[in-house]
A and B are shown apart, each in its own frame.
Chain A
């Protein structure tokens, strides 16, 4: 399915930068969000996720660039004029109001009739499984319940887009798993676009329709969870999502789509397009796709020593040290163990290695620096 064709664009972020003093927090961000999708912003702490959300909500102004909601530039709209709502990381419930009044707040501001408000609030509380809690105060709720109030309070306004900033960050693992499912259920049921911030990759993989990975203010890759996991486009994405083994080297020989790549501890042959002789390349192989053999394998010149083997339930995790000291992680269903200290040859099946251009990252920057001077 091609999302870009059959879905309506709801939020468009174009060339957005945010600079605090000398701190360039969001860099040239281009992002399109489609109606009804669950999009997750994923990245490590301080990479600018919250800042991005706050710019969409209107609490921060972009230093440059345009943000459009339903095709309309919202730069001059105050937060209270925007058709988006936020679920804050700290819940931000009004401590002096009952749960009922908290949830009803948005509707009251819109001057909806009292009877209508009552009906909607009761329905909403029922929907988030908080029926009967309407007369309590926020201090009388557990963390998970507060979270649901925060979500109800935002959802009741039926915003075009709901922004959620690590809404489950403060919950324990079990509750978090449960709330993940509930959130997903709510999102499907109400068909509201979610822009969801998290730094938990597992959460992102299980909940999202698409994931947008950021690193130090730079968008790395946007795609479905499968895309992101199976075809990382940058070294950062490959290492950030799940575990991987990364070989960095360059293309030594090329014949059609067959290439021989040299890396520090050896060389191997792979298939892949888009590379030229001499290109810098990083090759990512997931631990569960990495294979080993006690005899040399045709096309692979990677040899190592078995350092450690651990059973984790039904999986056998093996660590192999290469000649340059790099450790390679291998996971496979439990089977015959290898003697620790034994020599093995590493290989993988065609298509299990993902090739990533690395030229443009470090090298391009170095070139640019020289040229600029």
Chain B
């Protein structure tokens, strides 16, 4: 009898605890989503005044906010492309070839990852101003590429740890030249690692604030724009855009989880 009660208590405590954790995690998201549909027009936009799509309509009139979002996406795409290409080549090269100072280079990779972002931001700022590179899209892309490269390398390297070099030799043995081998064998086998690295690079770039703050010049990225506007409370059109991004992310995650992951699992 006693044990039964104990079990019930344990169970309810567990449920309660989990509920609180999830509530804590998802409450802000709920607030943003509901806020984007809230018809109130008075600051601080909290009291519920009924359902509306007005903020979404307004969002598409807010060219500054939209263009900042455009800039963020552009920077994210280009820096992802660059860091993925560089990181993949670096990871494969460091895996395949033995050279002097390899251990040192390996260790140095962790530094950009562990140093506070603010240090990275300041050092990039110093670098750009000392070399007289005007701060704009280019410097943003370069900075984002810089901090994303190690993450791509780590991801690709994780995939490489189970990689058998002899499959490339087998491919060449069967008549494929080096380029075909790269295309048919190396890249497809490493694809999950490369994709993971790219996704990480993209996410890191999209929501980066600190490094961007030091290297942006006149360009406003979406996070910087949002930071700026919250000085006067979060405007519901920011909520609307955030909700759209959220929806996009969820769709992306659901897609990758269901399709790509299944494929990878089957190959394992």
A interface with B by C-beta (< 8 Å): 57, 59, 78-80, 84-86, 88, 90, 92-96, 105-106, 109-110, 137, 139, 153-154, 157
Contact = CB atoms under 8 A, between A and B. Distances in A.
Interface in B166-189: 166-167, 169-177, 180, 184-185, 188-189
Interface string B146-180: 00000000000000000010110111111111001
Nearest to B264: A96
Given A90-B164, A137-B266, A139-B268, A96 B173 contact: no
A94 B167 contact: yes
The 8 closest A-B pairs by CB, nearest first: A109-B175, A106-B174, A92-B166, A92-B170, A79-B172, A80-B172, A92-B167, A86-B173
Contacts of B189: 94-96
A325 B142 CA distance: 77
Nearest to A82: B173
A92 to B, nearest CB: 4
B267 A105 contact: no
Contacts of B267: 95-96, 137, 139
Given A109-B180, A137-B267, A139-B268, A93 B174 contact: no
Q: Is the interface of B mostly helix, strand, loop or mixed?
A: helix
Given A96-B188, A96-B267, A139-B267, A88 B166 contact: yes
A106 B166 contact: no
B177 A157 contact: no
A174 B191 CA distance: 38
Given A92-B164, A92-B166, A96-B267, A79 B173 contact: yes
B169 A92 contact: yes
Contacts of B164: 90, 92
Nearest to A110: B175
Contacts of B177: 78, 80
Interface residues of B, number: 21
A88 B174 CA distance: 12
B171 A78 contact: no
Q: Which of A85, A95, A139 has the most CB of B within 10 A?
A: A95
B185 A80 contact: no
A95 B167 CA distance: 9
Given A57-B173, A93-B170, 13 more contacts: A80-B175, A86-B173, A92-B167, A94-B170, A94-B185, A95-B189, A96-B189, A96-B191, A96-B267, A105-B171, A106-B174, A137-B267, A157-B174
A96 B268 CA distance: 9
A59 B168 CA distance: 11
B173 A94 contact: no
B266 A85 contact: no
B265 to A, nearest CB: 10
A99 B166 CA distance: 17
A92 B175 CA distance: 15
Contacts of B175: 80, 106, 109-110, 157
Nearest to A156: B174
B172 A78 contact: yes
Contacts of A79: 169, 172-173
B166 to A, nearest CB: 4
A80 B176 contact: yes
25 contacts: A79-B169, A79-B172, A79-B173, A80-B172, A80-B174, A80-B176, A84-B173, A86-B173, A88-B169, A90-B166, A92-B166, A92-B167, A92-B169, A92-B170, A93-B170, A94-B170, A96-B189, A96-B267, A105-B174, A105-B176, A109-B180, A139-B267, A153-B170, A157-B174, A157-B175
Contacts of B191: 96
A57 B169 CA distance: 10
A106 B174 CA distance: 5
A112 to B, nearest CB: 11
A95 B170 CA distance: 12
Contacts of B171: 94, 105
A110 B167 CA distance: 18
Contacts of B184: 105
Contact of A109 (B176, B266, B268): B176
B173 A80 contact: yes
A90 B185 CA distance: 16
Interface string B230-268: 000000000000000000000000000000000000111
Contacts of A95: 167, 189, 267
A96 B159 CA distance: 13
